Amino acid sequence: MTQSKAIQEPRIFQISRLFSNLRGDLTGGLTAAVVALPLALAFAVASGVEPKAGVYTAIVAGIIAAIFGGSPVQITGPTGAMAVILVGIVAKYGIEKVWIAGVMAGVIQVALGVAKLGQLVKFIPYPVTAGFTNGIAVIIFCGQLNNFFGLKLPRSDHFLPGIWQTVSHIEGVNWAAVGLVVVAIAGNVLWPKINNTIPGSLVGLVLATGIASYFHLDVPKIGAIPQSLPMLQTIPHWNDFSLIRELINPALALAALGSIESLLSAVVADGMTVSEKHNSDRELIGQGLANIIVPFFGGIPATGAIARTAVNVRSGGKTRLSGVIHGVALAIIILTLAPLASQIPLAALAGILMVVSLRMIEWEAISLLFRATYSDFAVMILTWLVTILFDLVLAVEIGLIAAGALFIKRMSDLSLAKIPETEVFPPGIPLELGKEIAVYRVDGPVFFGAAERFVTFLREQPEVKYLILRLRFVPNMDTTGLVALEDIYQDLKRQNCRLILTGLQPQVQQLLQRSGLLAKIGLSNCFETTTDAIYSLSPEINSNTEIQEYG
């Protein structure tokens, strides 16, 4: 009888957890779908394709990536970063060739995942990612100026000519369109202060569309959207090898950006949840499969979407089911509301994208880099400018070269080693305390690859409650090292493990103070020597015990 009860209880708990997750996944998936609808339409328009392609992409890619990807909470669909690349490819090659390039990009992503190269994204320095993210935001914002002013102008492939085109035709401004943009922005920004249940972007979209329809305003609209599910189609000339050679560069660009953005989004999701962490290689395979399949349903290349993923997590999504629910919900919406969506003004989508772009700009990163080290700030500005004036892939390449040059200049390999307990734990310390404390010696400048090593350590030794970093031989630290140290601190905090620093050098201490990280860690967790730190953790040690001082 006792044995039967012991067997039954875990099943009860499993069922309880299943229903608990189901409720969270249902809420997260439905909320993400509501947020995704206006963004899918807007990013499709920004990519130079029909609005339906954006929704079809969110449905098909969202479901496939959720099932096969490496992140349990990732939401996949059209994004602003991908739109920036797609608009040029669509203008140059046309939508049919974009489908072929998308399939090729997916194949490349799957190959990267199979080759287990997903971890490489973690070695992209922080100023580079901040630079191209901010550059994308500027491009998206400026790319909506024609719709902001209601100008019916052909889309420009390049940033500066596009700005000049808008400025030179400013006399033809449509003030009704400008008013609708203001309404969409106001609804997007102000509504969350009233109610957080319904996304502000949806409220702004509905308000602007309602006003345009009620007053019969003469403004450009997105046009008819089929009231049907995405259907399987053939891709013309997909087996033309000369065409494949022609599209290899666009495919590489799509694969590179899709991989980087998806993995960065998965990393962000990891920081928001204590559930299963993502598998980088599997995530590349899942995103690649999505990009291989979605062109056969009329969609465009997709990536993991940071904002929609964050909405999913904050709304309760915990498993892959939330991503599947997001795709199914979008399919139901398009079947029931497609005729209404055709009346959406382009100005309303412009307002939504402008708000999205402003929120994409990493203001905190700009401030941190400016206050920390000017060399890292220069790398971010360089990456930012190349992103705007040229393209994203070139920006990442140049940013990596610049960051690598700085890294070599700072000379360093991070020497990280666990100090044996016999060297730091003197006689008299209880064995139990010795199991709870780990001491690591760090020699040389701290850099951007450090955080993952500590995450791995924590997974292997979950019983450790105190991690002491001996930093006496760390002469300096750059901004990416600072971000890595903060990641270490956050991971330890989630694992209920206390971070203690010893032997801080003046340059490192000043950087931690300027950034505010020292205040988070706490001065009470900083000691001159490792022995002092161990004493603070072991009040039961007899004061007469002879302990050799360990710096």
- DSSP assignment of 187-206: HHHHHHHH-SSS-HHHHHHH
425 in the same domain as 402: no
269 in the same domain as 397: yes
Range of the domain at 531: 415-539
Query: What number of other Cβ atoms are within 10 A of residue 527's Cβ?
Result: 20
Residue 198 belongs to a domain: yes
What token pair was written down for 138?
A: 């500027």
Beta carbons of 205 and 355 less than 8 angstroms apart: no
Beta carbons of 488 and 495 less than 8 angstroms apart: no
CA distance 379 to 377: 5
Question: What DSSP character marks residue 345?
Answer: B
The pLDDT, as a whole number, for residue 14 is 45
201 in the same domain as 294: yes
Q: Choose the final residue of a domain: 377, 406, 435.
A: 406
Return the exposure string of 318-345: e unless at least 16 CB atoms fall within 10 Å of the residue's CB, then b: bbbbbbbbbbbbbbebbeeebeebbbbb
CA distance 460 to 182: 53
Residue 8 belongs to a domain: no
**Residue 527 β-bridge partners:** 502
303 in the same domain as 166: yes
243 in the same domain as 201: yes
Report DSSP letters for 482-518, one per residue. Answer: HHHHHHHHHHHHHTT-EEEEES--HHHHHHHHHHTHH
CATH code, 491: 3.30.750.24
432 in the same domain as 300: no
Residue 546 belongs to a domain: no
The pLDDT, as a whole number, for residue 332 is 93
Query: What number of other Cβ atoms are within 10 A of residue 310's Cβ?
Result: 18
Q: Choose the final residue of a domain: 372, 406, 440.
A: 406
Q: Choose the final residue of a domain: 342, 376, 406.
A: 406
Question: Could you tell me the CA-to-CA distances from 77 to 193, 392, 471, 535 in Å, in that order?
Answer: 27, 19, 43, 53
The pLDDT, as a whole number, for residue 289 is 97
211 in the same domain as 358: yes
What amino acid occupies position 120?
L
Give the closest residue to 46 by CA, choosing from 4, 1, 83.
83
Residue 390's SS3 state is coil
190 in the same domain as 50: yes
Query: What number of other Cβ atoms are within 10 A of residue 124's Cβ?
Result: 19
Question: Could you tell me the CA-to-CA distances from 462 to 225, 259, 449, 465 in Å, in that order?
Answer: 52, 31, 21, 8
Tally of domains within the chain: 2
CA distance 375 to 381: 10
191 in the same domain as 46: yes
The pLDDT, as a whole number, for residue 274 is 54
**Residue 439 β-bridge partners:** 468
238 in the same domain as 152: yes
Residue 339 belongs to a domain: yes
- Which residues of the chain fall short of a pLDDT of 70? 1-20, 122, 157, 238, 273-275, 407-417, 421-434, 444-462, 538-551
The pLDDT, as a whole number, for residue 359 is 84
Render pLDDT for 216-262 as a digit per residue (tens, 0 to 9): 999 988 877 888 888 888 887 767 788 888 899 889 889 988 998 89
CA-based Rg of the chain, rounded to a whole angstrom? 26
Render pLDDT for 133-165 as a digit per residue (tens, 0 to 9): 888 889 889 988 999 999 988 877 678 888 999
CA distance 74 to 317: 9
Question: What DSSP character marks residue 61?
Answer: H
Cα 381-383-388 angle, rounded to 5 deg:
95
CA distance 541 to 141: 62
CA distance 37 to 204: 13
377 in the same domain as 312: yes
The pLDDT, as a whole number, for residue 443 is 74
Chain center to CA of 497:
26
Beta carbons of 326 and 87 less than 8 angstroms apart: no
CA distance 57 to 405: 39
Residue 25 belongs to a domain: no
Q: Which residues contact 548 (CB under 8 A, 6 or more apart)?
A: 426
Residue 336 belongs to a domain: yes
Question: What DSSP character marks residue 156?
Answer: P
The pLDDT, as a whole number, for residue 167 is 92
CA distance 379 to 374: 9
The pLDDT, as a whole number, for residue 339 is 84
Report DSSP letters for 71-124, one per residue. Answer: -TT--EE--HHHHHHHHHHHHHH-HHHHHHHHHHHHHHHHHHHHTT-GGGGGGS
398 in the same domain as 427: no
Give the closest residue to 25 by CA, choosing from 62, 72, 65.
72
Residue 526 belongs to a domain: yes
Question: What DSSP character marks residue 297?
Answer: G
Give the closest residue to 472 by CA, choosing from 513, 447, 440, 448.
440
Beta carbons of 500 and 470 less than 8 angstroms apart: no
Question: What DSSP character marks residue 185?
Answer: H
Residue 384 belongs to a domain: yes
218 CB-contact burial (10 Å; exposed 0-12 / middle 13-18 / buried 19+)? exposed
Number of helices (H), then strands (E), in the chain: 25, 7
